[in-house]
């Protein structure tokens, strides 16, 4: 009985940690689409570049693992924000209200940036230096939980609260939401809406980079396809949660992480089937599309 409870606790907290990472990936994607209507297929490249920049910086500097990770992570986030802003300024700004061209451009960017990663860092995975305490475990109800899971859950909670507070209780959030609803009126008031839209892309890029850094902590390495693999789950989370809904994405990310972990253990053990987790996530997606196609909570960000 104790073994059953400890296993369930381990799967639950691990699923919450995985869901937290999925939320961090999906939050930037959902923010950009919900506020600006841009479906950014280059979002995965932001994840990959953020992870690689953080890894490269930690590999170049000295000091403890904690200091190296903080400095590398900060540089990764800054690079993600800069890349997001650059993409908006150069590629997206001329294409507002032209969704087909936006999709084509962002898909092309994803391919080009992916090739650039291979060209700079090669195809082999790189070991991601992490503090020893993240490899240690904390015992809860008999389950030994890796400490990095708690880091991911805590960071995701802070990001969720921060995004909601930014959009609902700050002047910048008010300008962003007003600019989306009526750009001409906000411009007439003397506010440069273009800068706020660039800021949204910068925030989205930094969130993607943050997810990339934490994925390095979670998996212990970075590789060129990290962003692509995580982006698939990000789209699933955004669809289940409702396009443009930050809160919906958070709920959906938790659901996807838990379903994947439970299925990978219980269903895979029962059916002797290693792909049970991914199939279960797809079944969850199909169920939501059939029963509630608009998602769990569409456009809460507005």
Q: Where are the beta strands (DSSP E) in 129-244?
A: 137-140, 143-146, 221-222
What value does the mean pLDDT take over residues 185-190?
A: 68
Local structure of residue 124 (DSSP, 8 states) = S
What pLDDT is stored for residue 2 in this prediction?
A: 45
What value does the mean pLDDT take over residues 99-114?
A: 90
Grade residue 1 by pLDDT with cuts at 50, 70 and 90.
very low
What pLDDT is stored for residue 273 in this prediction?
A: 62
Grade residue 135 by pLDDT with cuts at 50, 70 and 90.
confident
What pLDDT is stored for residue 100 in this prediction?
A: 86
Average pLDDT across the chain, whole number: 84
CA distance 51 to 58: 11
Angle between helices 226-241 and 193-219 (to 10 degrees): 120
227 CB-near residues (< 8 Å, 6+ apart): 43, 44, 45, 46, 47, 48, 49, 51, 114, 208, 212
What pLDDT is stored for residue 263 in this prediction?
A: 87
What pLDDT is stored for residue 20 in this prediction?
A: 92
Beta-bridged to residue 139, according to DSSP, are 144
Comparison of pLDDT for 302 and 96, the residue scoring more: 96
Local structure of residue 220 (DSSP, 8 states) = S
Tokens of 138: 């904390």
Comparison of pLDDT for 218 and 177, the residue scoring more: 218
Single out the residue of 133, 113, 121, 161 nearest to residue 69, CA to CA. 133
Query: Is the model's pLDDT at 302 over the cut of 60?
Result: no
What pLDDT is stored for residue 180 in this prediction?
A: 60
CA distance 25 to 249: 10
pLDDT digits 0-9 by tens, 269-301: 666 666 777 888 888 899 988 888 777 775 544
Tokens of 249: 């994405």
Q: Are 30 and 163 in contact (CB under 8 A)?
A: no
Grade residue 116 by pLDDT with cuts at 50, 70 and 90.
very high
What pLDDT is stored for residue 183 in this prediction?
A: 63
Query: Is the model's pLDDT at 166 over the cut of 60?
Result: yes
Beta-bridged to residue 156, according to DSSP, are none
Grade residue 130 by pLDDT with cuts at 50, 70 and 90.
confident
Tokens of 123: 């195809």
What pLDDT is stored for residue 209 in this prediction?
A: 93
Please give the CATH architecture assigned to the domain spanning 2-291: Orthogonal Bundle (1.10)
What pLDDT is stored for residue 76 in this prediction?
A: 93
pLDDT digits 0-9 by tens, 10-69: 899 999 999 999 999 888 888 888 777 788 888 999 999 999 999 999 888 877 777 888
Query: Is the model's pLDDT at 133 over the cut of 50?
Result: yes
What pLDDT is stored for residue 272 in this prediction?
A: 61
What pLDDT is stored for residue 257 in this prediction?
A: 92
Give buried/exposed letters for 205-227 (b at 16+ CB in 10 A, else e).
bbbbbbbbbbbbbbeebbbbebb
What value does the mean pLDDT take over residues 104-127?
A: 90
């Amino acid at each position: 009985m104790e073994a059953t409870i400890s296993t369930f606790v381990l799967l639950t907290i691990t699923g919450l940690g995985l869901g937290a990472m999925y939320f961090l990936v999906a939050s930037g994607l959902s923010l950009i689409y919900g506020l600006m209507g841009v479906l950014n297929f280059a979002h995965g490249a932001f994840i990959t570049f953020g992870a690689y920049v953080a890894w490269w910086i930690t590999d170049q500097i000295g000091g403890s693992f904690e200091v190296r990770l903080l400095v590398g992570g900060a540089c990764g986030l800054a690079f993600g924000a800069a890349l997001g802003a650059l993409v908006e300024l150069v590629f997206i700004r001329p294409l507002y209200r032209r969704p087909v061209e936006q999709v084509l451009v962002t898909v092309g960017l994803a391919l080009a940036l992916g090739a650039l990663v291979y060209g700079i860092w090669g195809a082999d995975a790189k070991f991601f230096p992490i503090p020893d305490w993240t490899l240690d475990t904390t015992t809860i109800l008999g389950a030994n939980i890796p400490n990095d899971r708690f880091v991911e859950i805590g960071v995701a909670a802070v990001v969720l609260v921060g995004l909601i507070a930014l959009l609902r209780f700050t002047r910048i959030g008010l300008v962003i939401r007003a600019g989306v609803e009526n750009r001409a009126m906000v411009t007439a008031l003397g506010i440069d809406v273009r800068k706020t839209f660039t800021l949204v892309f910068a925030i989205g890029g930094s969130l993607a980079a943050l997810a990339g850094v934490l994925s390095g902590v979670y998996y212990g390495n970075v590789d060129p396809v990290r962003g692509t693999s995580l982006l698939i789950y990000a789209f699933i989370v955004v669809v289940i949660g409702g396009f443009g809904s930050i809160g919906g994405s958070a709920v959906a990310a938790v659901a996807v992480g838990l379903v994947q972990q439970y299925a990978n253990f219980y269903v895979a053990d029962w059916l002797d089937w290693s792909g049970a987790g991914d199939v279960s996530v797809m079944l969850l997606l199909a169920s939501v599309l059939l029963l509630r196609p608009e998602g769990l909570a569409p456009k809460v960000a507005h």
